[in-house]
Amino acid sequence: MEAKKATTFTRTEAARVLGCSRTRVQQFEKDGRLTALVDQNGVHHFARADVLALARSRGRAHADRVHGTIAAEVFSLFRESVDLPEIVMRTQQSPATIRALYEEYRRPLGHRPHSPVDVADYERSSRELDEKIAALQARPTVPRPDATAARESHVRVVNDCTSAARSHAGDK
């Protein structure tokens, strides 16, 4: 029974994961979107993977979070040093899920994940820079003399001044 519980959800658990009522879960059964296995007590069990896939298709972002029962079972197997393939076979979870759980298992309790980056700041800054660039591109350009022309102009001025000084000196 414990193995079934780790790999399936009851109607109530499925409703919680899907963010809907038990009645809605029954409707998903009737529509064929979920298939239940009914145990000897009449309890409907849904494959965990099917419920999570339906939850993702309904936009439930938290649906990928691992159910606590599975996490507890996998953590116990980590403690026993069971290999990845054996854990995957016992729990019927994907290797990616087991690896994610292993990262959680190794993470210290006080560890806080990085706060999410506020993309709005980047977008605002990007818009401001785009506006500045557009303003600079729209401004008429002032022609700058190239270095050679400036040097030739400077040499002419110096030569003119030197000539004027000599002619002034010759007048005395």
Residues 13-68 have pLDDT tens digits of: 888 888 889 999 999 999 999 999 999 999 999 998 898 888 888 876 555 555 67
Q: Say what the pLDDT of residue 118 is.
A: 67
End-to-end CA distance of the chain: 122
Q: Are residues 58 and 81 in the same domain?
A: no
Calpha distance 84→78 (Å, rounded) = 9
Range of the domain at 96: 66-107
Q: Are residues 51 and 30 in the same domain?
A: yes
Number of domains in the chain: 2
The verdict on residue 113 lying in a domain is: no
Q: Are residues 23 and 54 in the same domain?
A: yes
Q: Are residues 4 and 19 in the same domain?
A: yes
The verdict on residue 155 lying in a domain is: no
Calpha distance 67→109 (Å, rounded) = 19
Q: Are residues 75 and 90 in the same domain?
A: yes
What's the whole-model pTM score?
0.37
The C-alpha torsion from 13 through 19 and 21 to 23, rounded to 10°, is -80
Domain of 8: which CATH number?
Answer: 1.10.1660.10
